[in-house]
Chain A
Amino acid sequence: MSYSITEPSSRQKWIAGGLVIAYAILTLLPLAWIIATGFKTPADAIAYPPKVLFTPSLEGYVNLFTSRSRVTPEDLAALGPPTTWYDSIVRQYDMVITGASRYGERFLNSVIIGFGSTFLSVFLGTIAAYAFSRFKVPLKDDLLFFILSTRMMPPIAVAIPIFLMYRQLGLSDTHLGMILLYTAVNLSLSVWLLKGFIDEIPIEYEEAALIDGYTRFQAFYKVVLPQAATGIASTAIFCLIFAWNEYAFAVLLTSGTAQTAPPFIPTIIGAGGKDWPAVAAGATLFLLPIMVFTILLRKHLLRGITFGAVRK
């Protein structure tokens, strides 16, 4: 690094680094607590003072994935010794496993709706962004502003007519209905971000391809898409994170078949009060993929957040 009079001194760097790291540790504490609570027994989870060191247990995860019912000690004795490790965990509490819980289904719904809507919003966003970037679209600026303005509406405000409309069309509580809805919400972000990325690709590449006898479609497919790949990928992550985390529409428009994990996780309850280790286990499995994604893809993500904001 070249010497510069504006470069902060190393003492300044130490102080700045120390303060930022202190803030980071403080802010990560609740997240660490979620992960830790998932591995506690219910008794450890509500211990006072809060337990930092504890014997890890998989009870929370077992309770998360199973439904259980209480049996009398005689019935329990009649069943014979437990056959699996999770059986033995449950039997300490005079319970037997009666089947799988709904968590698996809800998680799968999140995956289907998340990836489905991400694919659709990125696909539609890419072609629309290409058109806005390269062609003379009438009323271009108005259309772009219109696309952006759809993000200002409070979800609850649009939820009323969408609720009625979906009931009429038979789309309420369906995967397709949720995919279309999340796609529409994500489109504004997707078009704006992608237009920025495509604007950066020099138009000369396509012109050369067109002169070489490519059609517009071929030029788009073989020249523009590969160049925009990074931009498309980071847009996809933003769309996925939104759909993954969305709660308001999910709680209002789904109840059974298409319910995603965010409305479901807070409703997990155990026998006699809230089963915090199971809630924490469910939250951990749901949040961890996003945390890992964020850390691995930080370069593209951080750029995307500010990019989307600063462009406006």
Chain B
Amino acid sequence: MPDPFQRAALATPPKLAHQIRGLSDRTIAWLFVAPTIFLLLAVNIFPLIWTIRLSLTNFRTNRPNNAVEWVGIENYRKILTNPDTWASLQATAHFLVWTITLQVLIGFSLAYLINKKFRSNDLWTTLIVLPMMLSPAVVGNFWTFLYQPQIGLFNYFIAFLTGADPASFSMIGEVALAPWAIIIVDTWMWTPFVMLICLAGLRSIPPSIYEAAECDRASKWRQFWTITLPMALPFLMLAVLFRGIENFKMFDLVVQLTGGGPGATTQLTSIDLKREAFEKWRTGYASAYAVILFVTVFGLASIYVKALNKVKDR
């Protein structure tokens, strides 16, 4: 039986066949790349340019008939002088520093232990990875149930460990505890990601280096500080970069957990931005806010990548 391609080739008029066959690699390359570039331009770059334009106006989406005025950098000035902005940047920084520290410590330790290659370690690795595969909004919503005073499993657990009254504290209702409530859930969810990257790092170290170190009678402790850690460092830094970018954008988990409250204690920048854009409908102001955030992430990430490359080249 002739295969469909041969039949198609036979059925195609010679002239057309020549044209298809004659499509140069250059044409095919463009044909294949163009849809992707087009879609990304339409859904990412065009909106970004539009955001920059809107950020220079006083446009409000809920009042489309108002005259749109150019206000120059007025929005930017307002944002940078607004104490709420700095409060939410501070909340974000607190969230970032603690989630990254905890996730790197726990994630690296887990990877180190898993790398001891105990039996069926790949199954346990998979089970540990489960939380990061799930919908942050749905899981975050359920964590508010675990955090309920008295009836919540988390409160019960803490009470069991410390002997405190499980009804005496509310993780998401108290100003002092709410920032930790979001840090705990984020760490629970994303430690596996750091763990996987660290594991890739540990597995990339050739065993021959350790063998050489053993021959030189280097202690395990010394081997860890002079071989394991330096060689896994680029991976560790990469994990920090990814978690940093992701948590700077953090929205779904925290919206469902605390909604930014109580007061504004867990109002991360994304949540603050969402309030301005979709609750107060100050579109121009919110656009300027979005630009500032984007420039901040991009700037910090670029500086960090430079540092990362230096470590890699060393």
Q: Do A and B bind each other?
A: yes
A contacts with B: majority SS: helix
User: Which residues of A lie under 8 Å from residue B150 when comparing CB positions?
Assistant: 48
Q: Which of B138, B141, B252 has the most CB of A within 10 A?
A: B138
Are A294 and B116 neighbours in the complex by a CB distance under 8 Å? no
In chain A, positions 140-179 with a C-beta closer than 8 Å to chain B are 143, 146-147, 149-150, 152-165
B43 at the interface (CB under 8 A from A): yes
Within the complex, what minimum Cβ distance (angstroms) separates A265 from chain B?
5
Are A157 and B51 neighbours in the complex by a CB distance under 8 Å? yes
User: Which residues of A lie under 8 Å from residue B287 when comparing CB positions?
Assistant: 160-161
Residue of chain A at shortest CB distance from B156: A50
Are A23 and B142 neighbours in the complex by a CB distance under 8 Å? no
Q: What is the bound-complex CA distance between A29 and B143, given in angstroms?
A: 11
Within the complex, what minimum Cβ distance (angstroms) separates B216 from chain A?
12
Are B251 and A306 neighbours in the complex by a CB distance under 8 Å? no
Our pick among A149, A162, A183, A247 for the contact of B251 (Cβ within 8 Å) is A247
In chain A, positions 279-300 with a C-beta closer than 8 Å to chain B are 279-280, 283, 286-287, 290-291, 293-295, 298-299
Tell me the number of A-to-B contacts counted with CB atoms below 8 Å: 300
Within the complex, what minimum Cβ distance (angstroms) separates B148 from chain A?
8
Q: A154-B249, A183-B39 are in contact. Are A136 and B135 (CB under 8 A)?
A: no
Are B135 and A245 neighbours in the complex by a CB distance under 8 Å? yes
Q: What is the bound-complex CA distance between A181 and B32, given in angstroms?
A: 20
Please choose the segment from A2-10, A69-77, A80-88, A97-105 that sits at the chain B interface, where 4 or more of its residues have CB less than 8 A away: A2-10
Residue of chain B at shortest CB distance from A187: B36
Are A13 and B146 neighbours in the complex by a CB distance under 8 Å? no
In chain B, positions 146-205 with a C-beta closer than 8 Å to chain A are 146, 148, 150-153, 156, 166, 188, 191, 193, 196-197, 199-200
User: Which residues of A lie under 8 Å from residue B261 when comparing CB positions?
Assistant: none
Q: A216-B23, A290-B134, A294-B133 are in contact. Are A160 and B51 (CB under 8 A)?
A: yes
B263 at the interface (CB under 8 A from A): no
A241 at the interface (CB under 8 A from B): yes
Q: A135-B29, A305-B196 are in contact. Are A13 and B117 (CB under 8 A)?
A: yes
B contacts with A: majority SS: helix
A127 at the interface (CB under 8 A from B): yes
A: interface residue count bin: 35 or more
B214 at the interface (CB under 8 A from A): yes
B145 at the interface (CB under 8 A from A): yes
Are A279 and B35 neighbours in the complex by a CB distance under 8 Å? no
B248 at the interface (CB under 8 A from A): yes
In chain A, positions 247-285 with a C-beta closer than 8 Å to chain B are 247-248, 251-252, 261-263, 265-266, 274, 276, 279-280, 283
Are A265 and B134 neighbours in the complex by a CB distance under 8 Å? no
Our pick among B35, B166, B273, B277 for the contact of A124 (Cβ within 8 Å) is B35
- B side interface size, CB within 8 A: 103
Please choose the segment from B70-78, B79-87, B95-103, B122-130 that sits at the chain A interface, where 4 or more of its residues have CB less than 8 A away: B122-130
B10 at the interface (CB under 8 A from A): no
User: Which residues of A lie under 8 Å from residue B35 when comparing CB positions?
Assistant: 124, 127-128
Are B293 and A157 neighbours in the complex by a CB distance under 8 Å? yes
Are A4 and B40 neighbours in the complex by a CB distance under 8 Å? no
Q: What is the bound-complex CA distance between A103 and B233, given in angstroms?
A: 46
Are B118 and A137 neighbours in the complex by a CB distance under 8 Å? no
Are A28 and B251 neighbours in the complex by a CB distance under 8 Å? no
Q: A154-B297, A161-B54, A262-B138 are in contact. Are A310 and B200 (CB under 8 A)?
A: yes
A132 at the interface (CB under 8 A from B): yes
Are B197 and A310 neighbours in the complex by a CB distance under 8 Å? yes
Q: A154-B297, A161-B47, A184-B44 are in contact. Are A143 and B131 (CB under 8 A)?
A: no
Within the complex, what minimum Cβ distance (angstroms) separates A299 from chain B?
8
User: Which residues of B lie under 8 Å from residue A283 when comparing CB positions?
Assistant: 138-139, 141-142
A selection of 6 A-B contacts at a CB cut-off of 8 Å is A5-B211, A6-B211, A160-B286, A187-B36, A261-B138, A283-B142
> Could you list which residues of chain B lie within 8 angstroms of chain A, going by C-beta atoms?
5, 20-21, 23, 25-26, 28-33, 35-37, 39-40, 42-48, 50-51, 54, 61, 106, 110, 113-114, 116-119, 121-131, 133-139, 141-143, 145-146, 148, 150-153, 156, 166, 188, 191, 193, 196-197, 199-200, 207, 210-211, 214, 235, 238-239, 242, 245, 248-249, 251-252, 255-256, 270, 273-274, 277-278, 283, 286-287, 290-291, 293-294, 297-298, 301
> Could you list which residues of chain A lie within 8 angstroms of chain B, going by C-beta atoms?
4-6, 8, 12-14, 16-17, 19-21, 23-24, 27-31, 33-34, 37, 46-50, 124-125, 127-128, 130-132, 135-137, 143, 146-147, 149-150, 152-165, 180-181, 183-185, 187-188, 191, 215-218, 222, 241, 244-245, 247-248, 251-252, 261-263, 265-266, 274, 276, 279-280, 283, 286-287, 290-291, 293-295, 298-299, 301-302, 305-306, 309-310, 312
